[in-house]
Amino acid sequence: MFVAYKDWTRYITGGCYGKRGCRAGKREYGGKVEAMKRELTRIRTGRASRTLLDGIKVNAYGSNLPVDQVGTITVPESRMIVIQPWDPQMLAVLEKAIMISDLGLTPANDGKVIRLNIPQLTEERRKELVKKVKKIAEEYKVGVRNDRRDANDTFKAQKNDKEISEDDMFRDQEEVQKVTDEFITRIDEIAAGKEKEVMEV
């Protein structure tokens, strides 16, 4: 789930505004874009991918570890993932972690490796996943717009406190809008790519 960042105003306050503030804003927006990409990789399509396991944690050696820290993950076929734990005793633990996850896959444990067969998605399921992608993208766009609002509020406060001129305020707001538009477009492009991937048969 998206968590709004408030750090942009931290860069802008104290006289750090204009293009410098927008460079900071780009860093914050860039973080949002990367977080969105990671979230979308966990949406299962009809193809096998190591990233499907990214959100799964395994209770091993007193810690909750990612799957790739307890074994080797391979994708030998377009619809199969194979996990070979380095410690055979981890087979049952891995199997349980996958079963209780929201991945929606049933692991096959042959005593040496765990195989995950990726079934073909139905048309109805594909449409449901597209809706989920759109929802995630909208949440991130709302976060970007909230940061724009916070930045503009900061500019107004600086102008009222006579830290910057009215011309500075309008210039900075314009720069912020440009950065906002740029990243809203990037979010839309990433979402469109994921939707296309989901709908591929």
Question: What's the CATH number of domain 50-117, 3.30.1360.40, 1.20.950.20, 1.20.120.450, 3.40.50.300?
Answer: 3.30.1360.40
- Looking at residue 28, its pLDDT comes to 62
Contact between residue 155 and residue 17 where contact means Cβ atoms under 8 Å apart: yes
Contact between residue 8 and residue 28 where contact means Cβ atoms under 8 Å apart: yes
Question: What's the CATH number of domain 7-41+125-199, 3.40.50.720, 3.90.45.10, 1.10.132.20, 3.30.200.20?
Answer: 1.10.132.20
- Looking at residue 5, its pLDDT comes to 33
Amino acid code (one letter) for 70: V
Q: Where are the alpha helices (DSSP H) in 13-122?
A: 18-41, 90-100
The kind and range of the H/E element at 64 are strand 63-66
Residue 30, C-beta contacts closer than 8 angstroms, at least 6 positions apart? 183
Q: Where are the domains of the chain?
A: 7-41+125-199, 50-117
- Looking at residue 27, its pLDDT comes to 58
Q: Global pTM?
A: 0.67
Residue 27, C-beta contacts closer than 8 angstroms, at least 6 positions apart? none
Query: What tokens does 167 get?
Result: 């011309």
- Looking at residue 201, its pLDDT comes to 65
Report d(CA 38, CA 140) in Å as an integer.
12
Contact between residue 180 and residue 148 where contact means Cβ atoms under 8 Å apart: yes
Report d(CA 24, CA 12) in Å as an integer.
8
Report d(CA 74, CA 51) in Å as an integer.
11
pLDDT in tens, the chain (201 residues): 333 333 443 333 333 444 444 444 555 666 788 888 888 887 877 778 888 888 889 988 888 899 999 999 999 998 899 999 999 999 999 999 999 887 788 899 999 999 999 888 889 988 999 999 999 999 999 988 988 898 889 889 988 998 888 998 898 888 889 888 999 999 999 999 999 988 886
